Structures are given as C-alpha cells and as structure tokens.
Amino acid sequence: MKTKIGFYRKKLNITQEELAQKVEVTRQTIISLEQGKYNPSLELAYRLTRALGQKKIEDVFLLNSR
Amino acid sequence: MVIAKPQWFVRRKYGGWGLMPKTWQGWIYSLIMIIIVLGLVNAPLDMKYKIVIILAAAIFFFIDIGSAMIRLKDEREKIHEAVAERNALWAVLLVLVIGISYQAAESAVKGNYSSMDWFLVAAVFVALVVKAVSNIWLDRKD
C-alpha cells in the first residue's frame, strides 16, 4: 500500500526517528511504511495519521494503489 | 517491580535471543547487570550461598528483560519476531524428531530402550502442550 507518510513527515520537518518515537514504533518500521512494504494495523494507521497532523486515514494511506 | 523499560532496547535479531541496548539508559542497565553478576561470581561468599544469590539475580534479570521484551510495542517487529521464532522452533523440532527417530531405531535394533534420551521426547511433548495452550488462550482472547 502506497502512503504519503514521507510527504507529510517532511512537511512537518521531522525525522523518521522522531516520527517513530511519536507513534511508538522503530525507525525501521517507519522506513518500511514509507516504502509501502508494510501495511500497518488500523490502530497504527490512526496514530500515524494523527501524528502527521492529518484528519483522514485515506489522506495518508492510499488504498487500491500497488 | 520491573526496571528495564522497553524503549531502552531493541530486539536482538541476528545473534540469539534477548535485547540489545538502544539508548544510554539501556547501556547503563546492561553495564550494571554485568557488574552485579561479575561481582557476585567473585564475591568472597560460601559457595552454597553464592549459587543461591547468583540464581536469584539471574531469575530477576530474566524476568525484568523478559518483561521489557513482552512490552516492546512495534507491531511489525512483533510479527517478524513471531515468524522468526516459529521458524527456529520448527528447526529445533526437526532436529529433535530426527534424533528421537534415530535413537528409537537404534534401540529397536538392540532390543533395549534404556539408552533412549527421554528428555528429548519430553521436549517435543512440552512443545506440543505449549502450542495447544497458546492456541486456546489466543482463541479466547480474540
């Protein structure tokens, strides 16, 4: 699943490590998410969306994109 | 009471089981643990007391580190850990079954089962029980 995590993270000017600490995952997981290699649980998707300052999950995670 | 915090460590992936220090707090904890263990080993105590105290310290650190491992929150790491542990278990079970089969065949040829290592059989049986109990718990949990 493609995501706009990297886009919003850079917009907020925070590092992968800082985002990882905010949502309580490892930096490696943030890297995998940004590369679209890992699909998070609903809970993690919500936490990431909030941490990136967005209101809708679908603004961050792009379903039906391969 | 637990001391080790999960955010101080990362999961050990490539060199065995346990945790690796990630933050300075994790490194301090590891250093203190080593100092305590080395101190106890070299302490001028009667051997029987020394063994008991070292065992108590080892149990404490095992529980403390184990608690931190369980509380590691990264879901992707947990999934990877589960798959890696499953693969390791299958490898161990394969070796155990090969070993038990060889011993059973050898014993059958000799007509004497006293040379079988029943500890290996017990290990496989314990694995079966733990898997069954885990599945029962997981089915009830969600």
Mind listing the pLDDT tens digit for each residue in A30-65?
Answer: 999 999 999 999 999 999 999 999 999 999 999 865
- If you write DSSP's letter for every residue of B51-120 in order, what string do you get? HHHHHHHHHHHHHHHHHHHHT---HHHHHHHHHHHHHHHHHHHHHHHHHHHHHHHHHHHHT-GGGS-HHH
Structure tokens at B11: 């999961």
* Cβ within 8 Å of B, A 31-60: 32, 38, 40-41, 44
Q: How far is A10 from chain B (nearest CA, A)?
A: 22
Cα distance between residue B109 and residue B115, in whole Å: 12
What is the full per-residue pLDDT of chain B (142 aa) written as tens digits? Answer: 688 988 898 888 887 888 889 899 999 999 999 999 899 888 888 888 889 999 999 999 999 998 988 888 789 988 988 899 899 999 999 999 999 999 999 888 888 877 788 899 999 999 999 999 999 999 998 7
- Of the candidates A57, A56, A36, the one whose C-alpha atom is nearest the C-alpha of residue A45 is A57
Which phi and psi (to 5°) does residue B68 adopt?
-65, -40
- Of the candidates B100, B41, B32, B110, the one whose C-alpha atom is nearest the C-alpha of residue B65 is B32
Mutate to test the interface with A, among B9, B23, B76 (most CBs of A within 10 A): B76
Q: How far is A12 from chain B (nearest CA, A)?
A: 22
Is B76 within 8 Å of A24 when comparing Cβ atoms? no
Instruction: Record the pTM.
Output: 0.75
Could you give the C-alpha distances from A52 to A13, A55, B141, in angstroms and in order?
A: 10, 9, 32
Residue B112 CA from chain centroid, whole number: 34
Q: How far is A32 from chain B (nearest CA, A)?
A: 9
Residue of B nearest to A41 (CA): B75
Decide if A27 touches B, using CB distance below 8 A.
no
Q: Which chain A positions have a beta carbon within 8 Å of B74's beta carbon? A: 24-26, 29
ipTM: 0.81
Residue of B nearest to A20 (CA): B74
pLDDT at A66 over 70: no
Structure tokens at A7: 């886009």
Q: Which chain A positions have a beta carbon within 8 Å of B75's beta carbon? A: 25, 29, 40-41, 44
